[in-house]
Structure 1
Amino acid sequence: MPEFLSFINDILWGSVMIYLLLGAGVWFTWRTGYIQFRYLRQFGKSLKSSITPQSSGLSAFQALCTSLAARVGSGNLAGVALAITVGGPGAVFWMWVSAIIGMATSFAECSLAQLYKERDASGQFRGGPAWYMSRGLGMRWMGVVFSIFLLLAYGLIFNTVQANSISHAMRYAFHLPEAITGAALALLTLVVIVRGLRGVARLMQWLVPVMLLLWVVVSLIVSVWHIGEIPAVISKIVRCAFGWQEAAAGAVGYTVSQALTSGFQRGMFSNEAGMGSTPNAAATAVSSPPHPAAQGIVQMIGVLTDTMIVCTATAMVVLLAGYSTEHPANGIQLVQQAMTHFAGSWGSPFVAGIVLLFAFTSIVANYIYAENNLIYLRLNTPRNVWLLRVVTLLMVMAGTLMSLPVVWQLADIIMALMAITNLTAILLLSPVVKIIAGDYLRQRKLGVKPVFNPARYPEIEQQLAPGSWDDDARQ
């Protein structure tokens, strides 16, 4: 089985996904007028305006924190360590590249999710790739396929990855049996997910910033303490990314390929740009200012935070401590060993606590995404919702006992299938993305508060859900 999964991964990630991700990122960077670079200085203002509470939906900040909860998980710790052990330090460079160009892709998919959102029976905004495939492309069958992929990924496979990392960290730090960790984690998850979307969003807007600050500040302290070694580490990352360090050994092709593939795999698993998951959170927000591009810009902050800040913090800790490929599968243990090297006996328990927070919030947000697509499939009866909850909890417990390499291989495959479906859709909708970006930039240049007026674009207006962009939705 592992050999078969590895074969499928080689096909999907050996060329298809790399070219598709690079191509989509470059395409949307151009089509949106290089929006991730033009509005880099505006991120602070966008974040500040996103905090305003909204009565008719989640605030943009709550949607951002919910998406960050899904993004920032074990991939930011164990995934980064695995990328370094498999692809070398150069993988970190390609993670950065995936984030920079992925910001444009994230803008495209999240803006589309905002544009084509609709209200559910309780008045809450819902949306995501399945909705813009159905409304924007008129292809409900494509939305159904994507929703099934997402239910498999976020209801099942990705939660096993998060639970697996938690169980390994707890075993290493506290000698806690995996079964106990799995049962406790499942119970804690149940307590939170029964609160629904709004309850989860209110929790995440406080928990996510705190956990991110904890990890980044400690990693920054370690880096500053060894600041003299930072230039050498950065130089090594760049040299290994292009095979300059291995050129003399004649291994350039293999090294560059491994670094690029590992970096993009782990970078995408971490920041999720182009995968189609984040739009499920982006669509739930009441955008401020009332323009679909505004939420796209806010969600770009998530990609920047996840990969350029959190993943880089992990990479610095691992690389400053030195890394070993002796046990490449134990990614989270490698991070724990690195922190123990710097902080002594409390290093391993600290990492275990951080991965617990990271992975737990991811599991909760993953479930919210899965339930959202159950709504799209019109299968959200109380019985089916509870069935999804039970299956999610069972997969969390099973994940604590599974083999890590198999779990990561399954995650990579389902991630690729989701991304291929979603990237196909947003590329087909790129003319709409260009209109959204152009309309937003035009109003910004005029010095007015951007407001999306569907009447200016009749072809788009007829595709929108009634009430999604009326005056009530623009508070």
Structure 2
Amino acid sequence: MLATLNGLLWGKILILLLIGVGVWFTVASRFVQFRYFKRMFRVFRHGLQHEKGHVSSFQALVVSVAGRVGAGNIAGVAVAITLGGPGAIFWMWIIGLIGMATSFFECTLAQVFKKAESDGTYRGGPAYYMHKGMKQKWMGTFYSGLLALSVGSALIALQSFTMASSFEQSFGVSPIYSGVVLALVTAVIIFGGIKRIAEVAEWIVPFMAVGYLILGLFVVGSNLEKVPDVFILIARSAFGLEQAIGGGFGAAILMGVQRGLFSNEAGLGHAANVAAIAHVKHPVNQGIVQSFSVFIDTMILCTVTAMIILLSDGYLNGTETGGIALTQISLAEHIGDWSGIFVTLALTLFAFTTILYLYYLGENGLNFFSNENQKLFNLFRIIVLVQIVWGSLQELTTIFALADFAVGLLAMSNLIALVFLFKIGKSVLADYDDQLASGIDHPTFEANRFNELIIEQDSWPTLERDMDNDKSNSTS
């Protein structure tokens, strides 16, 4: 039944929605992800500033990167290549590039309709812009319920499984022990709330992402003469012109779209839940930052894993190995047997931070219904911890099938909402464009300019132009 439903969702509906919405948003926004690519670094640097009592733009970014950078980058890419051939990587790139625009708009909208909390943090995401932007509370209720259910039933188990199976292969550790230890460490963090999650992610995520990138660059540098052939192999396989390990043309597209979305989450709505927590001067700032996180995930880290696998003689000579084991074996060929330990440790960090991220998503889903029922939140935390242990003992096929189905439903409902709310997102982008065009270096969002929208004044108080803007105006 799951196979049939996933075949319908991923084989027809989502391919059309993801590509159609991504291309539409890209063209209608005048290629926002490319024309603001240079500004991404400037906004990113400005987002490093912390304001007491708030979650910074950078912290929100690393929490979302913690979710995007995980099993999908290492195990997911290996699965895509195993089942779809090298051409699946090409379609992952395409989904990533157009998905940057989709992520931009969903995260911008999450900022517009966010809700201020008493402790200085914010809540927001698809459920909130469905409720306030579309004026369809039932749709927000459906999304929130599905989000909490999917996190509590499949998505966290996938991360736990990936970590535990890697530990078993590298060290011979029984999955039950890995699962229990991971659950105990997770418990220490999640009972501290989003601020503690953000603080942990702020330290771990840059370290693990840069470390994995350095390793990948070393592999590429050591096999530089083979790199052009790998890109040719990916291109030919993407259009069914190369008979390679994995599937044909259709399988390459299917696995590229499926694993691409599962990795970068553009359009899924997950990242929008986290984007809303940032304290920024304009919603577009966080939209730009979150768009950059899709680039980091797909165009950099997924490509690193693909290069590690496709540059290996083991893959090119034909192998029946798949999944995370394929990445480990390929890496061992490049840098020695100790690489299995590195991959295991990297996966452990990836899985750990992704679990923290997923937990927050589930909590945010429950918060849409009630933010005062602490017994409900504590029960959810216990379910998450149990799921970590349970997931470490399951089979890959079962976990991926459950996760794919949940992700598919979330993506479909979120993409439909984005289609209806695109006009609002475009008007917010136009406000940002106009301020930049008038010489304002750091645009600010004034809610009273959008009286037709249901925007919480506590989240967006009317702000005076800051000193930087005054200086920019006087200079211009």
For normalisation by structure 2, the TM-score amounts to 0.94
Relative to 1, partners in 2 of residues 1:325 and 1:424: Cα closer, same or farther, differing over 3 Å? Answer: farther
Q: Which moved more, 1:146-155 or 1:178-187?
A: 146-155
Do structure 1's residue 17 and structure 2's residue 17 form an aligned pair?
no
Q: Which residue of 1 aligns with 2:37?
A: 40
Do structure 1's residue 278 and structure 2's residue 271 form an aligned pair?
yes
Q: Which residue of 2 aligns with 1:148?
A: 145
Q: Which residue of 2 aligns with 1:407?
A: 399
What per-residue deviation string (whole Å, max 9, x for no partner) do you get for residues 50-107 of structure 1?
Answer: 1010234211000000001111111110000000000000000000001000000000
TM-fit CA distance, 1:272: 0.4
Q: Which residue of 2 aligns with 1:342?
A: 334
Equivalent position to 1:301, from 280, 292, 295: 292
Do structure 1's residue 223 and structure 2's residue 234 form an aligned pair?
no
Q: Which residue of 1 aligns with 2:51?
A: 54
Equivalent position to 1:116, from 113, 116, 122: 113
What per-residue deviation string (whole Å, max 9, x for no partner) do you get for residues 172-195 of structure 1?
Answer: 100000110110010011011112
TM-fit CA distance, 1:379: 5.7
Secondary structure in structure 2 of the residue aligned to 1:459: coil
State whether residues 85 and 325 of structure 1, in contact with CA within 8 Å, keep that contact through their aligned partners in structure 2: no
Relative to 1, partners in 2 of residues 1:61 and 1:135: Cα closer, same or farther, differing over 3 Å? Answer: same
Q: Which residue of 2 aligns with 1:443?
A: 435
Matches within 5 A, 1:255-334: 255-287=248-280, 290-321=281-312, 322-323=314-315, 324=318, 326-328=320-322, 331-334=323-326
What per-residue deviation string (whole Å, max 9, x for no partner) do you get for residues 377-414 of structure 1?
Answer: 11651211110011001111111111101111111111
The one-letter code matched in structure 2 to 1:386 is N
Mapped to 2, the partners of 1:444 and 1:407 lie a distance apart of: 46
TM-fit CA distance, 1:27: 1.2
State whether residues 168 and 333 of structure 1, in contact with CA within 8 Å, keep that contact through their aligned partners in structure 2: no
Equivalent position to 1:206, from 198, 203, 211: 203
TM-fit CA distance, 1:425: 0.6
Among the aligned pairs, what percent are the same residue? 40
Do structure 1's residue 363 and structure 2's residue 355 form an aligned pair?
yes
TM-fit CA distance, 1:310: 0.6
Mapped to 2, the partners of 1:171 and 1:56 lie a distance apart of: 42
Do structure 1's residue 183 and structure 2's residue 180 form an aligned pair?
yes
The one-letter code matched in structure 2 to 1:376 is F
How many residues align? The count is 462
State whether residues 152 and 362 of structure 2, in contact with CA within 8 Å, keep that contact through their aligned partners in structure 1: yes
Q: Which moved more, 1:317-326 or 1:223-232?
A: 317-326
Which structure 1 segments of 5+ residues have no match? none
TM-fit CA distance, 1:30: 2.1
Mapped to 1, the partners of 2:217 and 2:141 lie a distance apart of: 44
After TM superposition, where is structure 1 displaced by more than 3 Å over at least 4 residues in a row? 471-475
Mapped to 2, the partners of 1:64 and 1:57 lie a distance apart of: 14
Secondary structure in structure 2 of the residue aligned to 1:77: helix
Q: Which residue of 2 aligns with 1:139?
A: 136
Q: Which moved more, 1:113-122 or 1:383-392?
A: 113-122
Equivalent position to 1:452, from 445, 449, 461: 445
Mapped to 1, the partners of 2:77 and 2:464 lie a distance apart of: 40
State whether residues 9 and 412 of structure 1, in contact with CA within 8 Å, keep that contact through their aligned partners in structure 2: yes
TM-fit CA distance, 1:155: 2.8
Mapped to 2, the partners of 1:54 and 1:207 lie a distance apart of: 21
TM-fit CA distance, 1:343: 1.6
Mapped to 1, the partners of 2:114 and 2:371 lie a distance apart of: 18
Secondary structure in structure 1 of the residue aligned to 2:241: coil
The one-letter code matched in structure 1 to 2:224 is I
The one-letter code matched in structure 1 to 2:132 is R
TM-fit CA distance, 1:222: 0.7
Q: Which residue of 2 aligns with 1:30?
A: 27
Mapped to 2, the partners of 1:172 and 1:210 lie a distance apart of: 24
Equivalent position to 2:344, from 339, 352, 355: 352
State whether residues 275 and 418 of structure 1, in contact with CA within 8 Å, keep that contact through their aligned partners in structure 2: yes
Mapped to 1, the partners of 2:464 and 2:458 lie a distance apart of: 7
What per-residue deviation string (whole Å, max 9, x for no partner) do you get for residues 201-243 of structure 1?
Answer: 0111111000001111001101100000000001100110011
Do structure 1's residue 242 and structure 2's residue 242 form an aligned pair?
no
State whether residues 169 and 332 of structure 1, in contact with CA within 8 Å, keep that contact through their aligned partners in structure 2: yes
For normalisation by structure 1, the TM-score amounts to 0.94
Mapped to 2, the partners of 1:376 and 1:229 lie a distance apart of: 51
Mapped to 2, the partners of 1:193 and 1:403 lie a distance apart of: 26
TM-fit CA distance, 1:342: 1.3
Q: Which residue of 2 aligns with 1:83?
A: 80
Superposition RMSD in Å: 1.7
The one-letter code matched in structure 2 to 1:369 is L
Relative to 1, partners in 2 of residues 1:225 and 1:58: Cα closer, same or farther, differing over 3 Å? Answer: same
Which structure 2 segments of 5+ residues have no match? 467-476
Mapped to 2, the partners of 1:474 and 1:357 lie a distance apart of: 41
Relative to 1, partners in 2 of residues 1:472 and 1:363: Cα closer, same or farther, differing over 3 Å? Answer: farther
Do structure 1's residue 384 and structure 2's residue 376 form an aligned pair?
yes
Mapped to 2, the partners of 1:116 and 1:55 lie a distance apart of: 22
Mapped to 2, the partners of 1:106 and 1:474 lie a distance apart of: 28
TM-fit CA distance, 1:154: 2.1
Secondary structure in structure 1 of the residue aligned to 2:173: coil
TM-fit CA distance, 1:120: 2.1
